[in-house]
Amino acid sequence: MPQPADLLQGTLDMLILKAVANEPQHGWAIAQRIQQVSDNVLQIGQGSLYPALHRLEYKGWIRAQWGSSENNRKARFYSLTAAGRRQLNAELENWSRLSGAVNLVLQEI
């Protein structure tokens, strides 16, 4: 199993926004999803997940609603707001610029 990588500062927000972009998700599912999709490279510590969710909620990028999960448990579902979608797009664009630039430099050297 590959070693979990440290999350780059600020990327957690982007990952969360991306994770809830298509459909509302609850906290556990967000963590699971990021972990699975990244092939267990990215592991979200619960110590940072919930503070991040609440911070994003306060910023108005996501909104939360109590609902029931697939296995019929009560859960707090997060969904993207319009402002959140704009933020996600901005961050994605930023990220692709940055990673593209980093890749260029790495190929060059």
Partner 1 sequence: MNLRRFRDRGRKDEDLAEEIASHLAHEEDDNAARGLTPEEARRQARVSFGNPRVVRERVWRYRSLPWIEDAWRDLRFALRGLRKTPGFTIIAILVIAVGIGVNTAVFSVINTVLLKPLTYPDPQALVELRNTSAQGSFPGANIPKFNIWHQQTGIFQQVAAYDSGGAGMNITGGDHPEQVQGMHVSADYFAMFGAPVVTGRTFSAEEDSPHGGRVTVLSYGLWKSRFGANPNVVGSTIQLDGEPYLIVGVIGRNFVTDVPVDLWVPFQFDLNSQDMAHYFTVAARLRPDVTLPQVNAQLRLAADQYRRAYGQNSLPPGGGFGVVSLQESTIGDTRFPLLVLLGAVGFVLLIACANVANLLLARASARKREFATRAALGAGRGQIIRQLLIESLTLSLSGGVLGLIVGFLGVRVLLSVNPGNIPRIGEDGSAVSLDLNVLLFTLGVSILTGILFGLVPAISASRPNLIATLNENGSRAGLGFRSGKFRSALVVGEIGSALVLVIGAALLIRTFMKLQAVDLGFATHNVISMAMSVSGDRFQKTAPVTQVIHDGTERVLAVPGVLGVGVTNCLPMAGGFGMVFDVVGRAKGNSPFTGGAGFYSISWRYFDALKIPLLRGREFTEQDDAAAPEVVIINEAMARRFWPKGDPLKDRIQIGPGAGPAFAEGPRQVMGIVGDTHDGGPNRDPIPIMYIPLPQMPDLETALNSGVAPLWWIVRSQVDPRTLVTPITAALRDASGGLPVAHIRTMDEIEARNTARQRFNMLLLTVFGSAGLLMAAIGIYGVMSYSVQQRTQELGVRMALGAQASNLRNMVIRQGMVFTLIGVGVGVGGAFWLTRFLAGFLFGVKTWDPIAFVATPLLLSVVALCAIWIPAKKATRVDPMAALRLE
Q: Which one of the spans 13-21, 50-58, 79-87, 98-106 is the region binding partner 1 (CB under 8 A)?
A: 50-58
Alpha helices in 1-109 (DSSP H): 11-19, 27-37, 46-59, 82-108
For partner 1, the binding residue among 12, 14, 15, 26 (CB under 8 A) is 26
Q: Which of 24, 17, 43, 18 is nearest to 32 (CA)?
A: 43
Nearer to partner 1, 63 or 76 (CB): 76
- Can you give the binding site for partner 1, defined by CB under 8 A? 26-29, 32, 45-47, 50-51, 54-55, 58, 69, 71, 73-76
